[in-house]
Chains A and B, each alone.
Chain A
Amino acid sequence: MKKLIQVFLVIIIPEIVIFSLIWFINPDKVPMPFNIEEIIVTDLEKMPADHSSFEELNKDFKTGQEVTEACLSCHTGRGQEFMNSVHWQWLKHDTLINGDKVILGKKNVPNNFCIGVTSNMNYCSKCHAGYGWTDNNFDFKNPKNIDCLVCHDNTRMYKKTFQGLPDPKVNLKLVAQKVGHPTKQNCGHCHYQGAGKDNGKHGDLSKELNNCERDFDVHMNAKGKNMSCTKCHITQNHTIRGNMYTTSTSNENRATCTECHTSTPHKSKTLNSHFNQIACQTCHITKYATDAHTFVWWDWTNAATKKNGEVYADEKHITPDSTVLDDTKHGQQIYVKNQKPSYIWFNGNAKIHMFDDKITESPLVMNKLYGSYADNITPMDPKNPSKIFPVKLMRGKQPYDIKNKTLIQVNTFGAEGTGALWGDWDWDKAINNGMKAIGMPYSGSFGFVETVSYWPINHTVTPAETSLKCEDCHSKHSVLNGLDKVYIPGRDRHIAIEAGGVILIILTFLGVVGHAILRMRAKN
């Protein structure tokens, strides 16, 4: 009895105590976790003044310029301010990681969708916050050409058409009297429509955001906070925060999650520790293009070819979620839905391939996003060590100058007889027009080079319960299987260690069993 009590006191009770502590104590809990409820989304939707009562706006405007004049007559200085912005210039000053200065933007950067804007401005300026940008002669110093309404229309009736002019059907007086802070619809007017199709370019920006459910986007959830774009893309003096790494090279002026959520948003320390290596988006945006198709492939090789002398378009479903379009206009396009992102290491620095850069690789990377696992040990940019980011990959083939080894600007949009590709279906004329417009030489011979561009996925953050779970990365079937340098517990193992360990244990076991059998035999 005494012995039994001793065994209880010395072994059983202490073990019960120790293991209950191990089981129930949670040192991983953050004592004072970040509380999202403390973040108050301020309401900027109401304008301080009722513009419909203003004499200046009580006119029957004939052109957009007249509206702009009326706006600027009160909002003095705002024109100059806006004319410095990216939305007007389609260019900005940026720096490369080596310190080199670059000037880049939508105006001069090639892409692997429609290739480039120059020589196609009649069409492309539909999305310019200005009026009448048709060619290189556009006056960027004339504030009257600013299109205030595309961003400040609150009636949802304003529409832009070719050359960036207002659709003639629009009641400019009504729109002008109902201006306000930019809404989702204003931004989406252009930004949802990249590559000419809802959700076409980014894959995470579509009309659905205007009126979406919580499951689609927690922030913009119409029944929830219903945040507008500018809640994150904070705007001051017409300078809008946010970078798109197809036209940016440095980690400047970014709109980040940490702005509101802090860098330790989770209730678990372990989850918070992921912050050093994993971008928020990686776990919290697990899918893109859930509502509308997005492009993943655009091969221009067979563009401008006809079937039986006729312009054609064949659309085929490859899978329920992906469709291939072969047509005279575009060549071959593939657009898909319900995509899982690819993952890359990214440190916020990029290198954009410009029209005058030589092509040295295939596939040609249009926007090299710098970063690697090695950043964990020796950061390339100590201020911005690499993190794992989700991206959409856009691939395709597009024309390049075989002799000069440069990408080609193509004049795609234009009427018959102008030499535009979609007018005359003649590559040579279209290329000549395009190259002349960007002031680059063309050798006369062109081919098609495979290209790839990276589109960081930043939007459509879904509720926490739908984010990646531990096992989504920490398992053999890790979504991060493309990133092999980083060690991920649960995913990575050394085959020799694993095999050696198992063999060692099996041999030990056999040895022990063998020894025991021999002993028993010897006894008998």
Chain B
Amino acid sequence: MKRVYIYRRFERFWHWTQTLLILFLALTGFEVHGNFSLFGFNKAVLLHNNAAYTYMIILVLIFFWLFITGEWRQYMPKRQQIVDQVEYYIKGIFQGKPHPTHKTVYTKFNPLQRAAYFGLNFIILPTMVATGVLYLAFYEFLKTGEGYAIRPIAYIHVVGAFLLLTFVIVHVYLTTTGYKPLSAIKAMITGWEEMADEEAEVVVRENIRMAMQCSRREIIDSGGVEDIKSFDEVLSRELSGTNAMMIDFQKKLLQSKVGYFRIDVNGVYVEVNEVWKELYAQTGIKDPIGQHYTLNRSDEDKKVVEQIFKQVVSGKTITGVKLTRNTTDGKRLHHTLSASPWYEKNKIVGIEGYIIGVDD
């Protein structure tokens, strides 16, 4: 068993806030609806309203976060593998077959989850908010003589409440279909999900691939100056995580087209991987080991890499810097560079890092 980091801090925060709010709103809401008596109607209304205002604020934060981080893309329904997923739940799960899809930081949801969460986040919740707001605003409108029929609004709100309850039941049940029955819930609490070794390998590789894709996209978007935190975060997390360390990272980097290099304090290459060599193939450099990092760079680029080297050797981590390399036939190729100090016995003995080609 290994653990892989899936849920970020804010995600975990809003998930549990949302959970408690939905349950609390259901409790107070059904009391207001007259199904039972617990707090008393007066208090139930007050608590329901307060929880509703809070939820609206949290929803604004969630949606802001979803759109800023691009996470919303994960909620867009897709047809691919939806049949596999259905088949898994009605057949495969009983035969002990593996999940047809993998959970990574970048694709947390299987196609059924996408459909369900899309419905939840983009249909049911907005409907509940809209009907709730109309409900709250009714008297303001009434005051100005512009009342409207509250009955259909209330009925829609009740329908939404039943659907939310149904969602909660199914959702809680499906959390037990992970690696172990409590794996999914633990993951939502700590961020780290337990997985089988093979699954974890696939997921970590996928995470890195996606991180690189994202960083590449963002580097291109921002013209190379953006600090790519997500890439760095994922990589460092994959490397520092206790269990993830067991995975052959170099192998994965090779598969995922990340060039790796290590340079000692004197600026001399100590190690590069095959991908690095592939990226530099057209520059006439076959094997850089033993050579200085300035290599065949132009004077301008030399200044940049010297600058970077100085910074990293003095302890800083640099991510997503865009660099150029000159080919033998005079072309200029581009890649991004992320580098961090290479420690040995708490002393910086050089730098190591990754390069990703951005020309394709």
Pairwise interchain contact B154-A487, C-beta atoms closer than 8 A: yes
CA distance A494 to B157 in the complex (A): 12
A487 to chain B, nearest CB (A): 4
- Chain B 269-289 residues near chain A, CB threshold 8 A: none
CA distance A28 to B89 in the complex (A): 47
Given contacts A22-B24, A475-B41, A497-B159, A11 and B142 within 8 Å (CB-CB): no
Pairwise interchain contact A470-B96, C-beta atoms closer than 8 A: no
Say yes or no: is A474 at the interface (Cβ < 8 Å to chain B).
Answer: yes
Pairwise interchain contact B34-A490, C-beta atoms closer than 8 A: yes
Against B, the Cβ 8 Å flags (1 = close, 0 = not) of A374-393 are 00110100100100000000
The answer, among B17, B151, B162, B169, for a CB contact under 8 Å with A501, is B162
Q: Is the interface of B mostly helix, strand, loop or mixed?
A: helix
Say yes or no: is A47 at the interface (Cβ < 8 Å to chain B).
Answer: no
28 pairs of residues in contact across A and B, judged by CB atoms under 8 Å: A6-B9, A11-B13, A14-B13, A18-B17, A18-B20, A21-B50, A22-B24, A377-B147, A385-B145, A469-B41, A470-B41, A471-B41, A474-B32, A487-B151, A489-B32, A490-B33, A490-B34, A490-B41, A493-B158, A497-B155, A497-B162, A500-B162, A501-B159, A505-B165, A508-B169, A509-B169, A516-B173, A519-B93
Pairwise interchain contact B143-A276, C-beta atoms closer than 8 A: yes
Pairwise interchain contact B162-A494, C-beta atoms closer than 8 A: no
Say yes or no: is B240 at the interface (Cβ < 8 Å to chain A).
Answer: no
CA distance A475 to B50 in the complex (A): 22
Say yes or no: is B54 at the interface (Cβ < 8 Å to chain A).
Answer: yes
Given contacts A26-B46, A276-B142, A519 and B190 within 8 Å (CB-CB): no
Against B, the Cβ 8 Å flags (1 = close, 0 = not) of A49-70 are 0000000000000000000000
Q: Please, which residues of chain B bring their CB within 8 A of the CB of A3?
A: 190
Q: Please, which residues of chain B bring their CB within 8 A of the CB of A273?
A: 139
B3 to chain A, nearest CB (A): 11
Against A, the Cβ 8 Å flags (1 = close, 0 = not) of B37-61 are 1001110011101110110000000
Chain B residues with a Cβ under 8 A of chain A: 9, 12-13, 16-17, 20, 24, 32-34, 37, 40-42, 45-47, 49-51, 53-54, 89, 93-96, 139, 142-143, 145, 147-151, 154-155, 158-159, 161-163, 165-166, 169-170, 173, 176-177, 189-191
Q: Please, which residues of chain A bring their CB within 8 A of the CB of B24?
A: 19, 22
A1 to chain B, nearest CB (A): 13
Known: A493-B158, A502-B162. 19 other contacts (CB 8 A): A6-B190, A10-B9, A11-B12, A27-B50, A28-B49, A276-B139, A277-B142, A377-B148, A385-B142, A471-B41, A489-B32, A489-B33, A490-B41, A491-B34, A492-B151, A493-B34, A508-B170, A518-B94, A521-B94
Say yes or no: is A7 at the interface (Cβ < 8 Å to chain B).
Answer: yes
Say yes or no: is A270 at the interface (Cβ < 8 Å to chain B).
Answer: yes
Say yes or no: is A78 at the interface (Cβ < 8 Å to chain B).
Answer: no
B57 to chain A, nearest CB (A): 10
CA distance A454 to B49 in the complex (A): 38
Given contacts A11-B13, A497-B158, A504-B166, A490 and B96 within 8 Å (CB-CB): no
> Taking each of A276, A385, A475, A476, which has the highest tally of chain B beta carbons within 10 Å of its own beta carbon?
A276
| Total count of chain A residues near the partner, CB < 8 A | 55
Say yes or no: is A25 at the interface (Cβ < 8 Å to chain B).
Answer: yes
Pairwise interchain contact A25-B13, C-beta atoms closer than 8 A: no
> Taking each of A21, A26, A490, A494, which has the highest tally of chain B beta carbons within 10 Å of its own beta carbon?
A490
Pairwise interchain contact A505-B162, C-beta atoms closer than 8 A: yes
Say yes or no: is A141 at the interface (Cβ < 8 Å to chain B).
Answer: no
The answer, among B33, B94, B159, B166, for a CB contact under 8 Å with A519, is B94
Say yes or no: is A522 at the interface (Cβ < 8 Å to chain B).
Answer: yes
B36 to chain A, nearest CB (A): 11
Pairwise interchain contact B51-A494, C-beta atoms closer than 8 A: no
Q: Please, which residues of chain B bring their CB within 8 A of the CB of A22?
A: 24, 47, 50-51, 54
Against B, the Cβ 8 Å flags (1 = close, 0 = not) of A403-434 are 00000000000000000000000000000000
The answer, among B12, B150, B169, for a CB contact under 8 Å with A505, is B169
Against B, the Cβ 8 Å flags (1 = close, 0 = not) of A476-509 are 1000000000010111111001101110110011
